Amino acid sequence: MNRLKKWNIILYAAIFAAVSFGGQGVRLLTDYLWYQEVGFTEVFTRTLMTQGLLWGAAALIMGGALILNWRIALNVCKRPFVVIEPESVISPLPLPQISGLKPFLRTLFWVFAFMVSLVAANWAAGRWEMFLKFQNAVSFGVLDPVFGRDISFYVFSLPFYKFLLQFFLIVVILSLSLTVVIYAVNARIFVTPRGIKTADGAKIHWAVLGGFFCLLMAFHYQIKSYDLLLAQRTLAPGAGFADLNAYLPGLKILRVVALISALLLWASAYRMDLKLIAGAVLLTFLGPLLARTYSETVQKFKVAPNEIAMESPYIEQAIKATREAYGLSNIEEKEFDPQENLTSERLKANDLTVKNIRLWEHRPLLTSYGQLQEIRTYYDFLDADNDRYFINGELRQVMLSVRELVPESLPSRIWINEHLTYTHGYGIVMGPVNRISPEGLPEFFIKDIPPKSETGIAIARPEIYYGESRANYAIVKTGSKEFDYPSGDENVYTTYQGLGGVPAKGLLRRLLFALRFGELKILFSGDIEPESRFLYYRQVRERASKAAPFVRFEFDPYAVVTNEGRIVWLIDGYTSTDHYPYSEKFGDMNYVRNSVKAVVDAYDGTVRLYISDADDPLIQTYARIFPGVFEPISAMPEDVRAHIRYPQTLMNIQARVYATYHVTDPQVFYNKEDLWKIPQRTAGGTSQAMEPYYTVMKLAGLGGKEEFILMVPFTPSKKENMIAWMAARCDAPNYGKLLVYNFPKQKLVYGPQQIESRMDQDAEISKQITLWDQGGSRVLRGSLLVIPVDQSLLYVQPLYLEASGGGLPELKRVIVAYGNSIAMEENLELCLARIFGGRMERRERSDSPPASDAGAGFRRNARQAQDHFDRAQKAMRAGDWAVYGAEMEQVGKILRSLGE
């Protein structure tokens, strides 16, 4: 019977292990094959080995500690324990019942020890990255101002020390709890009218464990001292006067007290005094409360009455550290005094800036792309991204979107269609950001299936096997025909020619993938051949994250067309930490760098990781952990490197931090005298902060040519006028450089919300918008863009008209504001002509024609006016503002002469 029970237990354990770990084993094996495919086996093996090491160590320590203490407690319980005055003993349980439960309790202990060890092992295995960073830390080269430790200690070592502290505290506390239960069950603890009576061996046991607990608390107080520099106080991050001059000395005293308590407990274990044990543990717990109370008293009665003077050095340190942590310490500041002297001649000189003002908003553009270019219901455009290309020798900002396959929209969702036949999307659409068709729709540089290009950009490999969509796994090079693209009433089929995916090879791999994807058809399908390939992890962000799980990748990848006509995805990756001393937290981080640029080929899924910030100690540490995984940015192909751009996510973070930390004077910072904010804009009836936006322009004061930049304006925190704007340069060799242009504080510069209010108050604009809204249509207001041109500011906002029930949005009007002038026209050129052409018309007056031949003169002047007007319109379409202005000036002269 006993043998049968034993085998039943083994059988149940085997079933439990198979169910729990079988699926995990299949995933591990297929993941290993995937890492082999992309060439990142170092990441897989190093990660797995480290997880295994930590898992085994944690399980051994936790399980060993519990078993050791259990054995010691059982040995103590074997010794006789005589209680004086047995008639007065109050036992927690009747002894006969306890003795009957001992076999069950013994089994319960083993189950408890196993489960706790398993949980602890899994917890420790999850700290593999922390452990590897601790082992391979690279110095920041910056010391903290309090303890003189390198920042790398806080970023790499301190988190691991905290983990060790937590782990061993749990070990000691669980061991203490376990021994209490064992001694109680075995009648080695009694409650009498005179107090608790405990076996001598139990007291010794608890004294030893209590000593370990006090030793760990001493370590805890040391850790807590370092944590002061990471505190997020209301006034400023990091430790302040009271922290360093009251709380920190208290922690030092407590550390000494905890060490002495540990030594006393170990030295006096044989005195067997429960009061000493309880007192040492109680003091260890109450000490921090006393230290904090003293610190708060100092803060209230000493610091608060003279807070600015006492906190200024710490505020200054917080400003310095925060700016450094967010990459703001090297910002170049310039003065920008907006003028209202912009002319058509100056517009002509900045013609490329005007041509690249973005009129197409992402949402209406995607809707238009979807209705004009999806071609079939199973295609979709998931996103539209800003980029720049040289079109006919000219730098042009474009919007680019990838036509991806959406399996959920297939007309017949059978297994062979979803995984063998419809395997990929096809091609892209690309268009200028500023051009509008006569119908109010976007124009295209690249469109249709197969792709047709009006520029020199050719698409040689339009198939999209890897994209932004959460595509299912695909099996290519099979016996089934693979759909390529529709051509009229027929379909064109293809066979995958790339090296992406894991080869199917023999039956064993097919079995693995059948288990992995939960589909037996993989095992029995006659279409799958040895040279067939399994494509999985096809979502490009997921693919990059799988290759480098320690990097935080952007949620918005963008596609790039290479010189060879291939489509690749660029994904920005970030390294971050929340352990940078004295730095303000933003979300879950207080240090961030855009240190990685990932490139994923849309056809074969190749992943390459490039270091874009070689000075970042975090990425240097990861490169040391995983040698060969990262390449220098110089190794990136030039045609791809030409399209890297400063990330909007990073500028969003930096701009919000800079809105507070542009102030470097501690007193001004303390008084919050010069807080900024990101301007608000109205969208869909709600107000929200403006997003940084890309544009092409000449940066004032640099004397260079037009370049691709990312910019965002600032306003004072409680006002709407504009106070400054930030620009991030995207083109080599100045990529990543930040500039801030400050406006004169004594001068009113309209902010975006003020301009929107002025637009709403304009009678013509308000009337037209109201009319459209009442006509079964809905007006969508695009982002209001602030565009610096020379030393002037243009404000541009597109208006889209959409049917109330949905439909194709049309770019119906463009509104431009400049100085005190506002114009709304069908396109940007007409707005500029209305604002700047009108000014030029008033410069001169012409002589009147003789009265004797007034009729003939009238007809002659009318023809001349028409000729000048036609030439002006032609010049406007060509963007030749100088000729346009001159011709319109002649028209004005003639019309005034006729009036006179």
Q: Are 856 and 868 in contact (CB under 8 A)?
A: no
* 737 φ/ψ angles, rounded to the nearest 5 degrees: -75, 135
DSSP-based three-state secondary structure for 150: strand
Q: How far apart are CA 185 and CA 180, in angstroms?
A: 9
DSSP-based three-state secondary structure for 437: coil
Q: How far apart are CA 639 and CA 599, in angstroms?
A: 12
- Give yes or no for residue 285 having a pLDDT over 50: yes
Round the CA-based radius of gyration of the chain to a whole number and report it. 36
Of 409, 566, 568, 417, nearest to 491 by C-alpha is 417
DSSP state, residue 153: I
Residue with token string 């080929």: 601
- Give yes or no for residue 170 having a pLDDT over 60: yes
| pLDDT on residue 858 | 58
Q: Are 513 and 522 in contact (CB under 8 A)?
A: yes
Confidence label for 95 from pLDDT (cuts 50, 70 and 90):
very low
- Give yes or no for residue 16 having a pLDDT over 60: no
DSSP-based three-state secondary structure for 721: coil
Work out the angle between the directed axes of helices 41-78 and 128-135 (0-180°, nearest 10): 100
- Give yes or no for residue 138 having a pLDDT over 80: yes
| pLDDT on residue 251 | 92
Render pLDDT for 716-750 as a digit per residue (tens, 0 to 9). Answer: 999 999 999 999 999 999 999 999 999 998 899 99
Question: Hey, what are 885's tokens?
Answer: 């202005």
| pLDDT on residue 192 | 66
Question: Hey, what are 302's tokens?
Answer: 């000493």
DSSP-based three-state secondary structure for 665: coil
| pLDDT on residue 841 | 33
Confidence label for 844 from pLDDT (cuts 50, 70 and 90):
very low
CB atoms near residue 411 (< 10 Å):
9
Residue 844's DSSP bridge partners are none
Q: Are 796 and 812 in contact (CB under 8 A)?
A: no
Bridge-based pairing of strands 630-632 and 607-611 is parallel
Q: How far apart are CA 277 and CA 266, in angstroms?
A: 10
Q: Where are the extended beta strands (E) located within 169-244?
A: 189-192, 195-198
Q: Are 880 and 355 in contact (CB under 8 A)?
A: no
* 602 φ/ψ angles, rounded to the nearest 5 degrees: -75, -15
Q: Poorest-confidence range of 72-86, 252-266, 569-583?
A: 72-86
- Give yes or no for residue 857 having a pLDDT over 60: no
Average pLDDT over residues 153-162: 98
| pLDDT on residue 863 | 61
Of 586, 588, 611, 751, nearest to 680 by C-alpha is 751
Burial (CB count within 10 angstroms: exposed 0-12, middle 13-18, buried 19+), residue 711:
buried
- Give yes or no for residue 94 having a pLDDT over 60: no
Q: Are 553 and 64 in contact (CB under 8 A)?
A: no
Instruction: Render 454-493 in DSSP notation, one character per residue.
Output: SSS---SB-EESSBSS-PPPEEESSSSPEEEEEETTEEEE
Average pLDDT over residues 653-677: 96
Render pLDDT for 33-91 as a digit per residue (tens, 0 to 9). Answer: 999 999 999 999 999 999 999 999 999 999 999 999 999 988 888 776 655 555 444 44
- HEC secondary structure over 825-884: ECCHHHHHHHHHHHHHHCCCCCCCCCCCCHHHHHHHHHHHHHHHHHHHHHHHHHCCHHHH
Determine the residue type at 644: I
Determine the residue type at 817: A
Q: How far apart are CA 310 and CA 764, in angstroms?
A: 58
| pLDDT on residue 617 | 98
- Give yes or no for residue 382 having a pLDDT over 90: yes
Render pLDDT for 604-619 as a digit per residue (tens, 0 to 9). Answer: 999 999 999 999 999 9
Residues 6+ apart with CB under 8 A from 311: 235, 236, 240, 241, 303, 666, 670
Mean residue pLDDT across the chain: 87
Question: Hey, what are 159's tokens?
Answer: 């988190």
Confidence label for 300 from pLDDT (cuts 50, 70 and 90):
confident
Residues 6+ apart with CB under 8 A from 94: none
Ramachandran category for residue 721: left, alpha or beta (phi over 0 → left; psi -120 to 50 → alpha)? beta
pTM to 2 decimal places:
0.86
Q: Are 851 and 805 in contact (CB under 8 A)?
A: no
Ramachandran category for residue 158: left, alpha or beta (phi over 0 → left; psi -120 to 50 → alpha)? alpha
Confidence label for 8 from pLDDT (cuts 50, 70 and 90):
low
CB atoms near residue 733 (< 10 Å):
6
Residues 6+ apart with CB under 8 A from 551: 544, 545, 573, 574, 575, 595, 596, 598, 609, 622
Residues 6+ apart with CB under 8 A from 246: 291, 294, 295, 297, 298, 299
Q: How far apart are CA 390 and CA 160, in angstroms?
A: 50
DSSP-based three-state secondary structure for 549: coil
Question: Hey, what are 767's tokens?
Answer: 């009337």
| pLDDT on residue 686 | 74
Helix (H) or strand (E) holding 181: helix 158-185
Which whole-number Å values give the CA distances from 813 to 144, 441, 523, 690, in the listed order? Answer: 56, 12, 59, 21
Length of the chain measured in residues: 900
| pLDDT on residue 854 | 47
